[in-house]
Amino acid sequence: MSPPPLRIIGTSSTLTAELCRAARQDLPFPIEFEILDGPSCMRRGVLKPESYDVYDQWFYSLDVLWTAGAIQAIDTTRIRRWPQVRIAGQIPGSAAKQVGAPSAQLFVRHDGTLAERPDDHAPPRIGMLPTTYNADSFGYARELLSELAPDETESWAWLLDDRWHGRCTLSLDPAGSAVELALAARAAGLVDVRDPGNLTIEEIDALFQVLLSLKRRGHFTRFWGTSEDSVALMAGANAVIGSLWSPAYYALRGMGRDIIHGAPREGYRGWHSGLCLSANVTGAMRDAAYAYLNWWLDGTPGAIMARQGYYVSVVDTLRETLSQAEWDYWYEGKPASEDLPGLASTIAVRRGETREGGNYLNRVARITAWSTVMPEHNYLARRWREFLEL
Amino acid sequence: MAETRIPERNELASELEDPPRIGASAFLYESVFGLLQRKIASGAMPTGAVLKEAAVAIHLNVSRAPVRRALAMLAERGLLRPADGQGYVVGEAIPRPLSARELHDILAEATEDISRSATWERIFSRVSGEVTALLPFGTYRIQEAELGDHHAVSRTVAREVLWRLMDVRLIEKDRKSHWIAAQMTARVVRDTLEMRRVLEPQALANVAPLLERSWLEDLARRIEAAVARFPACGAAEIDAIEKDMFGTMYAGLRNTRMLGSIRRNQVALIVPRLFRRHFPVRDDLPSLVAYGQIVRLLCAEALEAAQILLRTQIERSEPLVLARLRVLSILPPPATQPYMIAVH
């Protein structure tokens, strides 16, 4: 009889077909992947820790899962490459100026709270193992360039711009979309927002007054639930601009669509993913879970993530799994010296193309806000439902 | 998602039936019992009078169930004895059936008193629980008439209940005069905790001389027992301890305005209580330890130290309450009651 599988839940951003295949090939135990959309995954993570062994999602779910008692601390002495781990390019626990949300609550302190720094005099324990991350923006069809003013630069304000009325698409998940729309409304001079990642009740109300009015006038086309949906939308005739994750952008490029990935002057929206251990996993299954966590930092997953535009927390191992040309394009921001493969053996990048925004440290340095479950999330979520249902 | 740990609507509501206390007896049968007991004691209800459930219910304008229970309680206490056929006889005298007119005269003056105040009291705790359970999830409009229908009471009684809920700030009236149960936001949590930091240390000073030593000692022992057994002490025991710490503790306040303000600002106490219904008890230990220290300081008459510790404790609770509210905010909202409509 085969042993029970290691059960992993996550979203399609990280649990791609390539990644699942590689994990099953490289690891000596059976693995069961379950792919959910973002909000369902988080709900499941919180409510049913007995239904998974490893949770793979965004950092903003960390304190929610931790508070709910759904996950257990990760012993960093069991993470082989822990000393090489960087959160968005920064050493965990260092005074990292550009790193905001993801590292703020990484460590588990002796009193059971989450903190930015580890306890002294003890091997650090963490709530979530940092894995992959990116600096996100929006994509737009090249044809829009003809409508721009001569000195106009890319801006989040474009998401709300009347020039492409009815043709803007956004993600259904408010954790990213609300931040993007706050950036957009601020950039367009429509709403005063102090911190797009921590909106006050008044800011939320002001923002939604603008958004509801835009939606009533038909400014937005359909919203997307998964990255694949966004590809279909942007590949069709209805959307010419929209929030777009890297894999979707490179998939569209692979399909030959002439889409530009924006490097907005206000900065990027960042996100960071990681892995958690269910509070319920013990014994041999926990050993398998640690093996899976370690595998993530070994180079193979990093290369798979890189080919869809994501960075990983341990880069040293990528030298063996990415070609020099791939490393130069994805991480160094240099022009591609040859055609580069994307997912599913398409060509994602043509020779001579350069990634928007420069090398990975430059792009990360320009992250101005992170996807988040902000303190007023329940109020925001209610206004968001109202906005979607309108 | 196939199943979750979210209880069904009714379960959630009944679990939360723990409203701020208003008035003394919350049950109709208790009011009926009290009334009949007074009438018997005063002689207005003569010995020998035969009391039948149906007749008493009609004259008091209440249903038969509370009358049945009240009569049984009076019989248990020896004030009534079972009659040969139906009903009970007052005292030891020879049974004497009362005419409808006689019964009416004895009970009439009390009718207004019972049928109104006791009815709202009877459903107040349930409605309060039903409303409270939904506060983290959204803003709801409460329909007076539907509330009455749902709980089988008149619209007048429903309105009475809603006014009482407004007294404790669970609901408010909007500009269109609709009853609104407004969502518990992070701001509400922060603002009410700020008020509690100001109010409760002073309230503690005011009531400290009135608190019974034996009650304090007993509470301290209970808290220490919960700390020792933590987390096996369970959610219900922590709820009960918090109710004593922040409810019973101030019940003797002479300054009713201060007491009212405190009650209104304790609305965020429902966050940990709701949270503990759904998730393992884990992070409550530091609070329990602090409660124990506060009560021990009160026992030792070290009032100032107790006040400082109380203020600190309320302040320290904020991050955890906010984190728990954030967890609740991602749960699927429970089903609403038929008299509540979600308002965007």
Residues B132, B339 contacting (CB under 8 angstroms): no
Spans in chain A with pLDDT lower than 70? 1, 94-101, 345
Nearest to B113 by CA among B18, B23, B42: B23
pLDDT band at residue B118 using 50, 70 and 90 as cut-offs = low
Options 3.40.190.10, 3.40.920.10, 3.10.20.30, 3.40.50.300; CATH for A137-267+366-389 is 3.40.190.10
Residues B136, B271 contacting (CB under 8 angstroms): yes
Instruction: Inspect the interface and report whether the beta carbons of B187 and A201 lie closer than 8 Å.
Output: yes
Specify the long-range contacts of residues A141-147, CB closer than 8 Å, at least 24 apart. Answer: A141/A234, A141/A240, A141/A241, A141/A257, A141/A258, A141/A259, A141/A260, A142/A258, A142/A259, A142/A260, A143/A240, A143/A258, A144/A240, A144/A241, A145/A260
Angle of CA points B13, B275, B23, to nearest 5°: 45
Nearest neighbour of A378 by CB, restricted to B4, B185, B332: B185
- Only one residue has tokens 């207004």, namely B112
- Shared domain check, B309 and B224: yes
The whole-angstrom distance between A47's CA and the closest CA on chain B is 6
Q: How far apart are CA B80 and CA A26, in angstroms?
A: 83
Residue A115 CA to its chain's centroid (Å): 22
Instruction: Inspect the interface and report whether the beta carbons of A378 and B6 lie closer than 8 Å.
Output: no
For residue range A326-378, list pLDDT tens digits in order: 999 999 999 999 999 987 768 889 999 999 999 999 999 999 999 988 889 88
Residues A138-166: b if buried by 16+ CB within 10 A, e if exposed: bbbbeebeeeeeeeeebbbbbbbbeebee
Q: How far apart are CA A361 and CA B296, in angstroms?
A: 55
Instruction: Give pLDDT, residue B3.
Output: 38
Tell me which chain A residues have a C-beta less than 8 angstroms from the C-beta of B328: 378
The whole-angstrom distance between B232's CA and the closest CA on chain A is 15
Instruction: Give pLDDT, residue B316.
Output: 95
Nearest neighbour of B327 by CB, restricted to A68, A375, A379: A68
Instruction: Inspect the interface and report whether the beta carbons of A43 and B331 lie closer than 8 Å.
Output: yes
- Only one residue has tokens 């990983």, namely A312
For residue range A168-216, list pLDDT tens digits in order: 999 998 989 999 999 999 999 999 999 999 999 999 999 999 999 999 9
Tell me which chain A residues have a C-beta less than 8 angstroms from the C-beta of B1: 40, 43-44, 47-48
pLDDT band at residue B15 using 50, 70 and 90 as cut-offs = very low
The whole-angstrom distance between B318's CA and the closest CA on chain A is 12
For residue range B214-223, list pLDDT tens digits in order: 999 999 999 9
CA dihedral A166, A169, A172, A174 (to 10 degrees): -100
Residues in contact with A326: Cβ distance below 8 Å, sequence separation at least 6, in sequence order? A303, A306, A307, A340
The whole-angstrom distance between B191's CA and the closest CA on chain A is 13
The whole-angstrom distance between A34's CA and the closest CA on chain B is 12
For residue range B189-231, list pLDDT tens digits in order: 999 999 999 999 999 999 999 999 999 999 999 999 999 999 9
User: For residue B25, is pLDDT > 70?
Assistant: no
Tell me whether the omega of the peptide bond preceding residue B231 falls within 30 degrees of 0, making it cis.
Answer: yes
Kindly state whether residue B112 falls inside one of the protein's structural domains. Answer: yes
Phi, psi dihedrals of residue A259, rounded to the nearest 5°: -110, 140
pLDDT band at residue B111 using 50, 70 and 90 as cut-offs = low
The whole-angstrom distance between B3's CA and the closest CA on chain A is 9
Per DSSP bridges, beta strands B80-82 and B88-90 are antiparallel
Tell me which chain A residues have a C-beta less than 8 angstroms from the C-beta of B185: 201, 376, 378-379
Domain ends where: B76, B105, B123?
Answer: B123
Tell me which chain A residues have a C-beta less than 8 angstroms from the C-beta of B274: none
Best of A113, A378, A383 to disrupt the B interface (most B CBs within 10 Å) is: A378
| A208: nearest CA partner in chain B | B344
Amino acid at A100: G
Tokens representing residue B19 in the block: 């409203």
Say how many C-beta atoms besides its own lie within 10 A of residue A57's C-beta: 24
Nearest neighbour of A378 by CB, restricted to B3, B4, B183: B183
| A113: nearest CA partner in chain B | B283
Instruction: Give pLDDT, residue B64.
Output: 78
Instruction: Give pLDDT, residue A78.
Output: 98
pLDDT band at residue B11 using 50, 70 and 90 as cut-offs = very low
Instruction: Inspect the interface and report whether the beta carbons of B187 and A200 lie closer than 8 Å.
Output: yes
Instruction: Give pLDDT, residue B18.
Output: 39
The whole-angstrom distance between B148's CA and the closest CA on chain A is 28
Tell me which chain B residues have a C-beta less than 8 angstroms from the C-beta of A67: 283, 320, 323-324, 326-327
Tell me which chain B residues have a C-beta less than 8 angstroms from the C-beta of A44: 1
Dihedral class, residue A139 (left if φ above 0, else alpha if ψ from -120 to 50, else beta): beta
Say how many C-beta atoms besides its own lie within 10 A of residue B302's C-beta: 14
Give just the sign of the alpha carbon dihedral A59, A64, A70, A71.
positive
Instruction: Inspect the interface and report whether the beta carbons of A46 and B331 lie closer than 8 Å.
Output: yes
Residue of higher predicted confidence among B159 and A31? A31
Total domains in the fold of chain B: 2
The whole-angstrom distance between B298's CA and the closest CA on chain A is 27
The whole-angstrom distance between A269's CA and the closest CA on chain B is 21
Mean pLDDT computed over B75-81: 90
Instruction: Give pLDDT, residue A3.
Output: 84
Instruction: Inspect the interface and report whether the beta carbons of A47 and B4 lie closer than 8 Å.
Output: yes
Q: How far apart are CA B49 and CA B36, in angstroms?
A: 12
Instruction: Give pLDDT, residue B27.
Output: 65
- Only one residue has tokens 């609305």, namely B267
Residues B170, B155 contacting (CB under 8 angstroms): no
Instruction: Give pLDDT, residue A71.
Output: 97
pLDDT band at residue B1 using 50, 70 and 90 as cut-offs = very low
Residue B259 is part of a domain; what is its CATH number? 1.20.120
Nearest to B184 by CA among A196, A140, A377: A377
Instruction: Give pLDDT, residue A1.
Output: 64
Question: What residue ranges do the domains of chain A occupy?
Answer: 6-127+270-297, 137-267+366-389
Instruction: Give pLDDT, residue A156.
Output: 97
Instruction: Inspect the interface and report whether the beta carbons of B344 and A382 lie closer than 8 Å.
Output: yes
Q: Which CATH superfamily is domain A6-127+270-297 in?
A: Periplasmic binding protein-like II (3.40.190.10)
Instruction: Inspect the interface and report whether the beta carbons of B282 and A69 lie closer than 8 Å.
Output: yes
Kindly state whether residue B132 falls inside one of the protein's structural domains. Answer: no
Helix (H, G, I), strand (E, B) or coil at B7: coil
Tokens representing residue B59 in the block: 């004259």
Residue B74 is part of a domain; what is its CATH number? 1.10.10.10
ipTM of the complex: 0.86
Instruction: Inspect the interface and report whether the beta carbons of A379 and B186 lie closer than 8 Å.
Output: yes
Instruction: Give pLDDT, residue B96.
Output: 87
Instruction: Inspect the interface and report whether the beta carbons of A112 and B320 lie closer than 8 Å.
Output: no
Range of the domain at B235: 186-317
Q: How far apart are CA B276 and CA B15, in angstroms?
A: 11
Instruction: Give pLDDT, residue A278.
Output: 98
Instruction: Give pLDDT, residue B51.
Output: 92
- Shared domain check, B311 and B192: yes
Instruction: Inspect the interface and report whether the beta carbons of B183 and A379 lie closer than 8 Å.
Output: yes
Tell me which chain B residues have a C-beta less than 8 angstroms from the C-beta of A381: 329-330
Instruction: Inspect the interface and report whether the beta carbons of A378 and B325 lie closer than 8 Å.
Output: yes
Residues in contact with A130: Cβ distance below 8 Å, sequence separation at least 6, in sequence order? A59, A85, A86, A87, A92, A102, A106, A272, A273, A274, A313
Kindly state whether residue B286 falls inside one of the protein's structural domains. Answer: yes
Mean pLDDT computed over B144-155: 86
pLDDT band at residue B92 using 50, 70 and 90 as cut-offs = confident
Q: How far apart are CA B249 and CA B215, in angstroms?
A: 10
Instruction: Inspect the interface and report whether the beta carbons of A47 and B185 lie closer than 8 Å.
Output: no
Instruction: Inspect the interface and report whether the beta carbons of B327 and A47 lie closer than 8 Å.
Output: no
Q: Give percent of chain B above pLDDT 90.
A: 50
Instruction: Inspect the interface and report whether the beta carbons of B324 and A47 lie closer than 8 Å.
Output: no
